[in-house]
Amino acid sequence: MEHGSFKDNSHATFTLGEEDHTLANAVRFVLNQDPRVTVGAYTIPHPSLEKVNIRVQTTGDPAKEVFKDACQELMQMNRHVRSVFDKAVTEYKAEQERKEKKAAEELKRQRELFGSMDIESN
Amino acid sequence: MESDGEEEVRRIVTDEEKLEAQNFNIFDLPDVPKGLPPHLELQRTRVVCEVKAPLHATGTIYSGAYISSGVDNSVNLENFSENFKVDVISLTKTDMVFDMIGIPPGVANAFRRILLAELPSMAIEKVFVVNNTSIIQDEVLAHRLGLIPIVADPRLFEYLSENDQPNERNTIVFKLHVKCPKGDPRRKVLSSELKWLPNGSELLKESAGGSTTNPKTHTSFSRSQDSFPEFADNPIMPSFQDILIAKLGPGQEIELEAHAVKGIGKTHAKWSPVATAWYRMFPEVILLKEFEGKHAEELVKVCPRKVFDIEEMGQGRKRATVARPRDCSLCRECLREGDETIEGEAKSKGKAEAKSEGKTEAKSEGKAEAKGKRDWVDQVALRRVKNHFIFTIESTGSQPPDVLFTEAVKILEDKCERVISELS
């Protein structure tokens, strides 16, 4: 829901229902990084109501577009986070497997060594 | 005719020179320092933790904050993609510790909040009590059963709303029937006694017509749950088999059926799939001066987390180095003035002497020693690196922690998408 003026569409307040600090703070960060934004902020009118008001004021561009761009950028950031995280986890798991294999081989080698030593002592 | 000074020097200005003049940027000259001056860079990227309170904790996220210095503070997608890194420190079936570098604190907090409150999991919601003669009341028993973590991937199940029929796609049915025979000692009821019923509920509903043909149970399973490929070999059971549910005295009995459904932590904390999830900022410990000899030993002794180490420099000289900054828990022991602990010996010595000699003399001696001992107080700088978070996720067992984090990121993406579609 957008509360703005028909004449000047560069200032608007967006009311999101069923949202809280989780999304609002993250979007606020991305919004403020946009050089077209002069004011990017959010409030929660009452903690019992699940509503967030996000205020966007820009240097001329329509506020709706700027807000949408911010959400898009946050989405792409998340996708990137997910891919980097998955890669890091698979690398870590592969590394662990390699270490375990090495340790198992080392143990086997030592066991064989000790085994052969016993035969010699007898 | 004219004097030399008034003669105009004419030169042909080439196109190259014109282009150069247009593109001239003072910041490109070799001896102009690029970026922010070091103290501003410190403010921008570090939280300085002093004895009283942390400084510069709020980030300057406004894109034009340093525009007058010619530094662009904005972070767009390319910058973010270049600088973002994830390092997994440890990963087991239930716990995970990993570093996230280059992520803004608002987004990291969003992940934490989603992990705690908005990731779905399965937990017991409805309990049909047939017989409960134990001393634990029905509702207390039901509450305890709800808190037991269940190993079942919630992505294989659907939500059960008010008007839906409970079926094999949205309900898991457990049965608990325990008895303590007369003459036996008191016995414990553990979570291992919760038996999974893959074919659905066995309790019959009371039908209005009183017909005995086709009695209905409380669930309508059209197929058995262990025919699903995921559950064929690993039956659904609680994460931990040794959770104490109740205690029964001789002659007491509990018979009940419990239905588990999908839910999120926001509704009730029993549906939170993480035992907990938290993050802390990466600590940075800097020694502002050389700590040698006695001071180095004191510093190493004072830190409870053993962050510092002694390094031999040859010729018997010792130096303190920061060996494990990651372990720093910000207790600020190395920043304290120091009036007790090491100086306790001096004081107690002073006290003992005071009893035999004059009081004031010995006390002042002890105090002077105490003040002298910690003259290195302001020489350790404790800082936190902004945008570098050490995340810890402890799962309750239903899903491995790396899966949980991936799901949390997906949920944040879905939220953004929902907002975008609402706006369009």
What digits encode the pLDDT tens for the residues B332-389? Answer: 888 777 654 444 444 444 444 444 444 444 344 434 344 445 666 678 888 888 889 9
**Residue of B76, B110, B419 with shortest CB distance to A33:** B76
List C-alpha distances in Å: B174 to A86, B84, B221. Answer: 35, 45, 14
Q: Which one has a higher pLDDT value, B312 or B342? A: B312
The type of residue at A94 is: A
Contacts of A101 (CB under 8 A, 6+ apart): none
B103 in contact with A at a CB cutoff of 8 Å? yes
Q: Give residue-wise pLDDT tens across range B83-101.
A: 899 999 999 989 999 999 9
Distance, CA of B247 to CA of B244 (rounded, Å): 8
Facing B77 at nearest CB: one of A35, A77, A89: A77
pLDDT attached to residue B363: 40
Give the residues across from B384 on adjacent strands: B47, B283
* Residue whose C-alpha is closest to residue A3's, from A54, A65, A76, A61: A54
Residue type, A6: F
Chain B residues 73-102 with CB within 8 Å of chain A: 73-77, 80-81, 84-88, 91, 98, 100
Residue-wise pLDDT tens digits, B22-68: 777 776 677 766 677 788 778 778 888 877 778 877 766 677 677 77
Pick the range with the lowest mean pLDDT from A31-35, B146-150, B229-233: B229-233
Give yes or no for a contact between B85 and B50, defined as CB atoms under 8 angstroms apart: no
Q: How many CB pairs under 8 A join A and B?
A: 121
Residue contact A80–B405, C-beta within 8 A: no
Burial bucket for residue B171 (CB in 10 Å: 0-12, 13-18, 19+): buried
Interface contact B76-A21, CB threshold 8 A: no
Which one of A21, A31, A32 would you mutate to disrupt binding with B, by most B Cβ within 10 Å of its Cβ? A32
Please name the residue of chain B whose CA is at the shortest distance from the CA of residue A54. B419
pLDDT at position B259 over 90: yes
Give the closest-approach CA distance of A35 to chain B in angstroms: 6
Name the amino acid, one letter, at B414: D
At position A100, the amino acid (one-letter code) is E
CB contact under 8 A, A21 and B75: no
* pLDDT reported for residue B188: 93
Sign of the torsion formed by the C-alpha atoms of B363, B367, B369 and B370:
positive
Record the pTM.
0.81
What mean pLDDT comes out for the span B269-286? 91
